[in-house]
Structure 1
Amino acid sequence: MGNSDYEYPSMNIECAHRVAIPPPQPFFKSLKNSLKETFFPDDPLRQFKHQPPSRKLVLGLQYVFPIFDWGGRYSFEFFKADLIAGITIASLAIPQGISYAKLANLPPILGLYSSFIPPVVYAMMGSSRDLAVGTVAVASLLTGSMLGKEVNAIENPQLYLHLAFTATFFAGVFQASLGILRLGFIVDFLSHAAIVGFMAGAATVVCLQQLKGLLGLDHFTHGTDVVSVIRSVFSQTHKWRWESVLLGCCFLFYLLLAKYFSKGRPKLFWISAMAPLTSVILGSLLAYLTHAEKHGVQVIGHLKKGLNPPSIMDLAFGSEYLSTALKTGIVTGVIALAEGIAVGRSFAMFRNYHIDGNKEMIAFGMMNIAGSCTSCYLTTGPFSRSAVNFNAGCKTAVSNIVMALAIMVTLLFLTPLFHYTPLVVLSSIIIAAMLGLIDYQAAIHLWHIDKFDFLVCISAYIGVVFGSVEIGLVIAVGLSLLRVLLYVARPRTLVLGNIPDSMIYRSVDQYENATRVPGILILEIDAPIYFANAGYLRERISRWIDEEEDRVKSYGETSLQYVILDMGAVGTIDTSGISMLEELHKNIDRRGLKLVLANPSGEVVKKLNKAKFIESIGEEWIYLTVGEAVGACNFMLHTGKPKQQKADESETWSNNV
């Protein structure tokens, strides 16, 4: 393509604009604005401005306890809906609570305790109308595996229990601190792909762990990896109980059948919601009538009546295992936050309202702190229970209070009824719930959309299943962070061409009709310029110039004269980036070329001006748009006179924009 093949877009030279340099700001004011935008982008204090002290007090109470805000608008119609939803999720919370407590190697009664106090705290402090609070399988598994490595729950149950309370306390403090300090973005480092793989791996491990109850085994491995579980299962084939296997398979089939009938039919949600409780009732009756415990079917046994006993004095701050409790609390706290906030945002999107992520973290933190002092272990907003709450037609968080009251009645009067509940039924309930977390369709979707995300997902899954839950979590977070670092360290640079009959410039690889401008190389930098990518960008831009000169020579086109950098996507730049531009400028000068900048942001212009880079390159070679920069370069190519000079002579050059 020669000069004759390119039609220059029309360009009014006299209407070009010079890039404005932002006025200087005092250092502390600039720092204050940066910190405010980083940690308080939503400006939570704006509603308190210009208000009398009494009104500020009311607004403060409503901000910390949202129930005071929407409580005044609560109606009897809302209560009827919340009453039905609360009773429905209580029927799910009872068997799930008992099951997940066993999964964490804790007394089953703690599962009921954890569905009493925390939901009440969340109902007062949470901002989601649909979230149903309770224990979750993944956090329970993490608690059991991490604490179980240091303390045996069977040999030293009291110490193990105290460490579980302490880990819950630390999880609550960590969660609340993230919310108070506005550090919620930390949870965002758990990418969607990492969560999909981690949850699927954890669900697989949980299902494998339930083989102990399903096969009626008394002794089982403490390892969570698939190799240890399979070895433990097949080394005890002579101890398998056919009665337990038969009972477990029957209830598992019933639970999966109920879930199948409810799937895609919102009006039939109650079939799946009531299935776990009916399984517990039927299993208990069957075990009682047939004396199943005498035939190798293990049962829960005695559950003491009464409400949550205080456990504040049981927090093991002086224990030699304090570091284990702290590590367990932080890891489980992060997982619980990620799941709870993701679930809350999903249902808020369905009903077109907004939840405050930082406020949710404070609510989660406070309910876990309160729970750790009242014999509860870690709670969050599980998807299964929240989905039932949503489908049952809940209107506000009062459904959590109704659920807590139903649990209170159970604790006071009904716990003896669970004495004969077979453990194999609990295993079936857990397996049925966990199969829904193995989202293979999401993994296939990741494969089609983004291969690296699929790699993150599969790596997290393999790490959990063949290593441990902690290893899988580290792999998931590590690969997600690696991807962020790759984006920063290896940003894209694109060659731009002109879309015919327009002043638009786009990637020549993406648009086949985009034509290169003779004598001009236009490059777009698609990321901020930091120390991490400055060296790469210098080498990559130099390579682009070499490739363009070789291409020009091979096609006999107009020799390269100008290099235009489109910096529209460069939001900021540090000193390493400025040094890179200075080196690049010198390198381009040595080649006999001219460097031109287009569309730099205010922050970039301010730093380039302070570094005197603008003075060295010349203000006349910095333009608002790529189109203006191309017009100036073309004008110079054809007249030998800079466009800035021509504009000054005609006295039509505009002032700063």
Structure 2
Amino acid sequence: MSGRVTDKVEGREMDITRVPSSLNHSENLPYVHKVGIPQRQNLLKEFTATLKETFFHDDPMRPFKDQPKSRKLVLGLQSLFPILKWGREYNFSKFKGDLIAGLTIASLCIPQDIGYANLANLPAQNGLYSSFVPPLVYAIMGSSRDIAIGPVAVVSLLLGTLLQNEVDHKKPEYLSLAFTATFFAGITQVTLGFFRLGFLIDFLSHAAIVGFMAGAAITIALQQLKGLLGIRKFTKKTDIVSVMHSVFSTAHHGWNWQTILIGVSFLAFLLFTKYIGKKNKKLFWVPAIAPMISVIISTFFVFITHAEKYGVQIVNHIQQGVNPPSANKIFFTGPYLVKGFRIGAVAGMIALTEAVAIGRTFAAMKDYQLDGNKEMVALGTMNIIGSMTSCYVATGSFSRSAVNFMAGCNTAVSNIVMSCVVLLTLLVITPLFKYTPNAILASIIISAVMGLIDIDAVILIWKIDKLDFIACMGAFFGVVFASVEIGLLIAVTISFAKILLQVTRPRTAILGKLPRTTVYRNIQQYPDATKVPGILIVRVDSAIYFSNSNYVKERILRWLIDEEEEVKENNQPNIQYLIVEMSPVTDIDTSGIHALEELYRSLHKKDVQLVLANPGQAVIDKLHASDFATLVGEDNIFLTVADAVLTCSPKMQEHFLA
């Protein structure tokens, strides 16, 4: 009895045939399912489907289907400018939450911006500029409700280090190169978003990011020792050895005790407020306003005591007024063009990684969808416009976004409120920052970057995956002992090395039958699983490509050799069948087919029959296209391992008949 039926799950035909055996007269013999052959797809349709799944898996055109042209125009504008969509439903109740959140993050961002600008070796006003224009652009184009936009410590340090390697920060070309790098950071981000290449940032693994961020936090904190201790002559290098040598070599004559008193006192205050905020989530506003309170008190103290006369370094002058245009300062020609592009591309990718990670985190907490590609376009556009308005690279800040979230923000209007406060600061308040001590800015930065060191994440990485831990530590030590760019390079290299290792050395396993079932599982994972006499069952847990095909073939043959030695020692039946479980094999290429052919020939010389179980649609299609299915025999390709064992093992047939 045989015939063809349709598999309701996968929508393909399959053969249902009784076991080919001399015992086939029995009507009690169970059915054996053979893998069906999918219909050949049109090459253009297959290519189009693959392209769509790679770049347009979220089907961005779905809302536009069956819509009139006028509606498509509205939907297109809403897609590009999400504020047109959620703005229609905006009300006073939402504004109250956004107002409180915006004022809270503004009190946090103003002192941070001045400190981060110093970290990037840029004038203090450029840090404030970067929290005025970019947040306004993002509020119009961004889709996250919770991200707070502005300069961040890691990108500031990275930008300052890379720029300093090209030109001295005291030269006018330094500022122009910073704007050029910001412009190309924006171009990089828009390009990735427009061409839907956001998956490229996923190649930097979570473990590598954890290590990189922790290393950057340590490096940033060490750099602040200059301001915290009042050191005037300080190394330009960022590695821990150079920094500590610079610190201790000036211990007898370069430190200023008044500066240390101010810096350490307020650092203790800031860390204490952070502790309060962690202990009681309702008091989130305490660590949020603590930096501004520290700036006000320390500035007033320096002003009334004239501590600057006793060696306390102060901010001095912050340019008053709104962002001046800077498009004419961007290098579009000359030797600095390539340098600006290279620096901008690196800074843009790091900024994207941080912003997208932050956006996805808070979107998951509030249960809404975030389009990563649209986010990239929004972030890129704001940096392009920012580069033309005296801003440097801005992105989503984790500390400010967390405060924004806990303060009850509802929409991106909180960014607009923050921008308005920064504008007011630029127009009115900047002269008051003249006597702000550098030590307080160093304290604010140190307290801010401590949150980038995630010990719990490192411990979890160690428990889950040792290779991930190596990537994490490699990135960490690369940043701390070499430089930010070396640490980043190590992080990327180890991430790619891990991918290559997993691709070139896929896992394989020997399967056994679980008692009282027809289920076959890894015998190492399930000790109760038993091997079938005369049959070796191997599972390949990866696609078979040119990079691993030879290894897969040799690994299977080694399994067979080991098994043959074992059966000889135990006087068991010789191996007659080798069943390869192929359900995890998602794809196979020409090299993979050749490897299977070589495996078939090697087994044939040993009088062992190769049997395949449950190859997927893409695999079975290629097996037939290459005539390998004919070589191995279509009767030796089965839907499940149980069917294959039932056919190959006479004892199993007798068991079912009994």
Q: TM-score range by the shorter chain?
A: over 0.9
Q: How big is each residue's C-alpha offset from its partner over 1:388-434, in whole Å with a ceiling of 9 and x where there is no partner?
A: 00010000111001111111111111111111111110000001111
Cα distance in structure 2, aligned partners of 1:508 and 1:239? 67
Structure 1 residue 222 corresponds to structure 2 residue 236: yes
Cα distance in structure 2, aligned partners of 1:36 and 1:13? 45
Structure 1 residues 264, 608: closer, same or farther in 2, change over 3 A? Answer: farther
CA contact (8 A) 2:135 2:416 kept: yes
Structure 1 residue 599 corresponds to structure 2 residue 614: yes
Cα distance in structure 1, aligned partners of 2:429 and 2:650? 89
Q: Secondary structure at the match of 1:496?
A: strand
Q: Secondary structure at the match of 1:532?
A: coil
Structure 2 match to 1:69? 85
Cα distance in structure 2, aligned partners of 1:230 and 1:529? 51
Structure 1 residue 420 corresponds to structure 2 residue 441: no
Q: Secondary structure at the match of 2:272?
A: helix
Q: CA deviation at 1:321?
A: 2.3
CA contact (8 A) 1:11 1:631 kept: no
Structure 2 match to 1:539? 554
Q: CA deviation at 1:15?
A: 2.1
Structure 1 match to 2:154? 138
Amino acid across the alignment from 1:44: P
Structure 2 match to 1:16? 32
Q: CA deviation at 1:18?
A: 2.1
Cα distance in structure 2, aligned partners of 1:283 and 1:338? 35
Q: CA deviation at 1:322?
A: 2.2
- Please give the residue correspondences for 1:243-642 in structure 2 after superposition, counting only pairs within 5 Å: 243-635=258-650
Amino acid across the alignment from 2:341: L
Q: CA deviation at 1:16?
A: 1.8
Cα distance in structure 1, aligned partners of 2:247 and 2:496? 37
Q: How big is each residue's C-alpha offset from its partner over 1:80-117, in whole Å with a ceiling of 9 and x where there is no partner?
A: 11011001111111001111000000000011100001
Structure 1 match to 2:219? 205
CA contact (8 A) 1:85 1:389 kept: yes
Given candidates 100, 113, 136, the residue that maps to 1:97 is 113
Q: Secondary structure at the match of 2:185?
A: helix
Q: How big is each residue's C-alpha offset from its partner over 1:328-353, in whole Å with a ceiling of 9 and x where there is no partner?
A: 11111111111111111111111111
CA contact (8 A) 1:64 1:125 kept: yes
Q: Secondary structure at the match of 2:284?
A: helix
Cα distance in structure 1, aligned partners of 2:61 and 2:471? 39
Q: CA deviation at 1:11?
A: 12
Cα distance in structure 1, aligned partners of 2:597 and 2:351? 48
Structure 1 match to 2:22? none
Cα distance in structure 1, aligned partners of 2:489 and 2:206? 15
Q: CA deviation at 1:14?
A: 4.8
Amino acid across the alignment from 1:28: L
Structure 2 match to 1:653? none
Q: Looking at both structures, which has the greater relative contact order when contacts are Cα pairs under 8 Å and sequence separation is at least 6?
A: 1
Cα distance in structure 2, aligned partners of 1:545 and 1:584? 11
Q: Secondary structure at the match of 2:220?
A: helix
CA contact (8 A) 1:13 1:631 kept: no
Q: Secondary structure at the match of 1:325?
A: helix
Amino acid across the alignment from 2:387: S
Q: CA deviation at 1:319?
A: 3.4
CA contact (8 A) 2:647 2:653 kept: no
Given candidates 90, 102, 125, the residue that maps to 2:141 is 125
Q: CA deviation at 1:124?
A: 1.1
CA contact (8 A) 2:80 2:141 kept: yes
Higher mean C-alpha displacement, 323-332 vs 558-567: 323-332
Amino acid across the alignment from 1:289: I
- Please give the residue correspondences for 1:170-189 in structure 2 after superposition, counting only pairs within 5 Å: 170-189=184-203
Structure 1 residues 163, 612: closer, same or farther in 2, change over 3 A? Answer: same
Q: CA deviation at 1:609?
A: 0.6
CA contact (8 A) 2:645 2:652 kept: no
Q: How big is each residue's C-alpha offset from its partner over 1:529-570, in whole Å with a ceiling of 9 and x where there is no partner?
A: 000001111110000010111111111112111000000000
Q: Give me the TM-score of the superposition, normalised by structure 1.
A: 0.94
Q: CA deviation at 1:354?
A: 1.4
Cα distance in structure 1, aligned partners of 2:612 and 2:28? 19
Amino acid across the alignment from 2:212: F
Higher mean C-alpha displacement, 379-388 vs 231-240: 231-240
Q: CA deviation at 1:636?
A: 9.1
Cα distance in structure 2, aligned partners of 1:174 and 1:601? 38
Q: How big is each residue's C-alpha offset from its partner over 1:8-50, in whole Å with a ceiling of 9 and x where there is no partner?
A: xx99755222211111122221111111111111010111111
Structure 1 residue 196 corresponds to structure 2 residue 226: no
Q: CA deviation at 1:247?
A: 0.8
CA contact (8 A) 2:150 2:394 kept: yes
Q: CA deviation at 1:618?
A: 1.0
Cα distance in structure 1, aligned partners of 2:355 and 2:653? 64
Q: Secondary structure at the match of 2:536?
A: strand
Amino acid across the alignment from 1:114: S
Cα distance in structure 1, aligned partners of 2:70 and 2:460? 53
Structure 2 match to 1:113? 129
Structure 1 match to 2:6? none
Count the aligned residue pairs. Answer: 630
Runs of 5+ consecutive residues of structure 1 not aligned to the other structure: 1-9, 644-657
Q: Give me the TM-score of the superposition, normalised by structure 2.
A: 0.94
Q: How big is each residue's C-alpha offset from its partner over 1:505-524, in whole Å with a ceiling of 9 and x where there is no partner?
A: 10000101101011110000
Amino acid across the alignment from 1:502: T
| Identity within the alignment, % | 56
Q: How big is each residue's C-alpha offset from its partner over 1:597-623, in whole Å with a ceiling of 9 and x where there is no partner?
A: 001000001111110000111111101
CA RMSD across the alignment: 1.6
Given candidates 54, 58, 61, the residue that maps to 1:45 is 61
Amino acid across the alignment from 2:499: V
Given candidates 156, 163, 177, the residue that maps to 1:147 is 163
Runs of 5+ consecutive residues of structure 2 not aligned to the other structure: 1-25
Amino acid across the alignment from 2:607: G
Cα distance in structure 2, aligned partners of 1:467 and 1:403? 37
CA contact (8 A) 1:13 1:632 kept: no
Q: CA deviation at 1:440?
A: 2.1
Structure 1 residues 133, 562: closer, same or farther in 2, change over 3 A? Answer: same
CA contact (8 A) 2:117 2:123 kept: yes
Q: CA deviation at 1:169?
A: 0.6
Cα distance in structure 2, aligned partners of 1:321 and 1:60? 37
- Detail structure 1 runs of 4+ shifted over 3 Å in the superposition: 10-14, 635-639
Q: Secondary structure at the match of 2:512?
A: strand
Amino acid across the alignment from 1:231: H
Q: CA deviation at 1:52?
A: 0.5
Q: Secondary structure at the match of 1:564?
A: strand
Structure 2 match to 1:58? 74
Cα distance in structure 2, aligned partners of 1:58 and 1:635? 69
Cα distance in structure 2, aligned partners of 1:14 and 1:302? 88
Q: Secondary structure at the match of 2:379?
A: helix
